[in-house]
Structure 1
Amino acid sequence: MSPSVVERRYTHFLNLYNALKKEHPQLMSTVVFPKKVLIGNFDNDLISTRSTGFESLLNHISTESRLRTSKSLLDFLQDTELSKAKEFIKKEDYITACPILENNFKLLNKIFTDRSPAVLLALCRLVACLTLLQDFPNSLKWADLALHRYEGVSDSDLLELYVPLLNACSKIWWQNGRNKEELEKRIEELRKKGHRVDGETNLMEAVDSVESRIFGEAR
């Protein structure tokens, strides 16, 4: 996967630090955060000191599982970009939203495990957006990756996305000239097992619903 990039300002790091300090005061007791100054914000020494402080904060978070899996870190990593992507989706500007969602998934995929809720929700949201476009580069790759990742999922909330995901991937396969019979068979097997497959919520709506349930109010 190509590198993912996010830009964050001092305020973003400060909000992350304060949130984690409030949630986990003991785990954050040794972290020293660079103070904000009213003048000299562009001084080279200050920039260097801040950068070192930010790096130390992120390194500390990476060593503590409770910090690494916190909602505060997830918000820090994706809130800015996810809000932009959702605005573009609301405006039906899917061609602009998809690269943002792709970058968001790549970033979370580097930090969290393959089948963590944050990663799978980001991947499913990307796939959902891709179904609304024709001939978007790598759409098959992302659809196939999502199907592969779901082979080992057992979380009941995340499994709610499986049928909508199958329907979305079936559409992407069809758009790219691939026979979708295999996915239709999977859906039929689920129907025979008693799963509800008719009138299913679309994948984008399902992702929003499950995300809200797992992480709290929708971002």
Structure 2
Amino acid sequence: MAEANGDIMAPGDLPSDSSLTTKELQQNWREVKRNDRPVRLLFVIPSSRIVEHALSKYVVYQVVVMRSGSFDSRRVSVERRYSDFLSFHHKLLQEFGEELEEVVLPRKLLTGNFSPDNIQERRLALQDYLAKLFAARCVRYSHHLAAFFTEQEQRRGHSLIRAGQFRAAVEQLQTVLEIQEKLLPWQKPTLVVTTLSALAVCHRDLDEPEQAFGSAHRALPPVRRYGLKHHRAALLELLVDVGYQLGRPVAQLQEELSGLRDAERGEAYCRSLKELVIHEFL
């Protein structure tokens, strides 16, 4: 494979007297096209299961979210019922009705909901539905898309925090964060702020200062950029406190926090990060 200064060369860039074989040229061009391939989200529904409670019975579908265009080893997944898809679809139609005229949600079954053949048919139909939805630009950039894939787990994670079950909350929130990171090419960077803040709180209460500092530090740039004042002050406070504990240089963070307190006259400093997190998703 021909290279120039370590870079892969496209066939059109090769000199006319190149000694590369046709096979090598084709292989090189495939590599160029693979590198230029845009990143997309892929949705796979590989399985389903029937859930039975005392007064209810329903099917849940495992939805795997992956990114294409590069090797994605993180096959993160969530479980959703047909009613979740139905609610999601109605919200999208209310906002983007005309743009989604050709995207049809698989119909609701009146009978035979638990037939293996019907479950299999619906599983494939829902997978196709998600692919068609994502092809619509308005959906890719809609906050409804992120909410569909993460809100249930976020609410569960924050409930666990309020119950003091921080390790279980971390497991829930880590799934949320991984999905949100896959969505970030199409969503605002602030999407991850709430999740990273909650993870920072959990790690701090679990006496894991390195992880707490890392989560809060990752959340700070989008908070600064988009002017989330309450989160900014709370994150800075945690970073300063945990930074001192870890022996990190925190003078600039302390100066930023002091300046924020003075500028806002205490208003942006009224709640700690834990207080902000606890009041999310109430």
Asked if Structure 1 and Structure 2 have the same fold, meaning a TM-score greater than 0.5 normalized by the shorter chain, the answer is yes
The answer to whether the 8 A contact 1:4-1:104 is kept is no
1:156-197 CA-partner distances (Å, limit 9, x unpaired):
3x24311111112233334445344442233234346x2445
Distance change (3 Å), C-alpha of 1:47 and 1:39? closer
1:186 aligns with 2:256: yes
Shift of 1:130: 2.6
Q: Report the equivalent of 1:28.
A: 100
- State TM-score, norm by structure 1: 0.76
* RMSD over equivalenced CA pairs, Å: 3.0
8 Å CA contact 2:203–2:211 kept in 1: the answer is: no
Query: Comparing 32-41 with 76-85, which one deviates more in the overlay?
Result: 32-41
- Alignment-derived partner of residue 97 in structure 1: 169
State the match for 1:11 in structure 2: 83
Q: Which has the higher strand share?
A: 2
Amino acid at match of 2:205: L
Letter aligned with residue 160 of structure 1: H
Give the paired residue count: 207
| Contact 2:194-2:277 at 8 Å conserved across structures | yes
Residues 125 and 135 of structure 1, relative CA distance in 2, 3 Å threshold: closer
Sequence identity (%) = 23
Query: Is 1:164 equivalent to 2:254 in the alignment?
Result: no
* 3-state SS in 2 of match to 1:178: coil
Which AA in structure 1 matches 2:243?
W
Cα displacement string for residues 16-63 of structure 1 (whole angstroms, at most 9, x for unaligned residues): 11221233221221112222332153424x334323322233223323
Segment drifting more, 17-26 vs 111-120: 111-120
1:78 maps to amino acid: T
- Identify the structure with the greater helix proportion: 1
Structure 1 residue ranges without an equivalent (≥5):
212-217
Asked if 1 retains the 8 angstrom alpha-carbon contact of 2:170 and 2:202, the reply is yes
Quick check: 1:147 aligned with 2:220? yes
Residue deviations 1:191-215 (CA, integer Å, cap 9, x gap): 46x2445853112443577x7xxxx
Q: Which residue of 2 aligns with 1:214?
A: none
- 1:122-141 CA distances to partner (integer Å, 9 max, x unpaired)? 22232233332202773343
Q: What does 1:100-115 correspond to in 2, within 5 Å? A: 100-113=172-185, 115=188
1:67 counterpart (136, 139, 147): 139
Q: What secondary structure sits across from 1:5 in the alignment?
A: strand
Task: Give 3-state SS (helix, strand or coil) of 1:56's partner.
Answer: helix
What secondary structure sits across from 2:79 in the alignment? coil
What TM-score does the superposition give when structure 2 sets the normalisation length? Answer: 0.61
The structure having more radius of gyration, on CA atoms, is: 2
Cα 1:59–1:196 shift into 2, 3 Å? farther
Distance in 2 separating the partners of 1:129 and 1:7: 24
Match of 2:158 among 80, 86, 104: 86
CA change 1:196–1:61 in 2 (3 A) is farther
Further displaced range: 198-207 or 49-58: 198-207
